[in-house]
Amino acid sequence: EVQLLESGGGLVQPGGSLRLSCAASGFTFSSSAMSWVRQAPGKGLEWVSAISGSGGSTSYADSVKGRFTISRDNSKNTLYLQMNSLRAEDTAVYYCAKGGSSPGPYYFDYWGQGTLVTVSS
């Protein structure tokens, strides 16, 4: 059974930093592209960042480029999101999502339950 468990969310002041983690199990983690997707309170879904299975390729939404860094540790089956220079508009539930396999990682076939990040003074 595929499981994705996020952690690391919480309350942080504007300008602060936070690191999210996503522990994965039930599939070959190193073979799967992974993403972070966020959802502001009462709003829709916004893709944040993606990383290839090897970790060699990353991509970011313009809204977080230069502030957020996605990474992974395949030996620990864990995905990370380092978030710096946080702003009020980064307040959201952050989901870890597994990229699909067939025909390619063009969708998200499994999602974690999310972790809430609140940026406020």
Partner 1 sequence: EIVLTQSPGTLSLSPGERATLSCRASQSVSSSYLAWYQQKPGQAPRLLIYGASSRATGIPDRFSGSGSGTDFTLTISRLEPEDFAVYYCQQYGRSPLFTFGPGTKVDIK
Binding stretches for partner 1 (CB under 8 A): 35, 37, 44-47, 50, 59, 61-62, 95, 100, 103-114
CB of 4 to partner 1, least distance (A): 9
Of all residues in the chain, what percent are helix, strand and coil, respectively (each to 5)?
Answer: 5, 50, 45
Helix (H, G, I), strand (E, B) or coil at 18: strand
Q: Which residues pair with 73 in a beta bridge?
A: 78
The smaller minimum CB distance to partner 1, of residues 68 and 95, is found at 95
Measured from the CB of residue 99, what is the shortest distance to partner 1 in angstroms? 10
Closest CA to 93 of 110, 76, 116: 116
Give the residue with the Cβ less far from partner 1, 62 or 75: 62
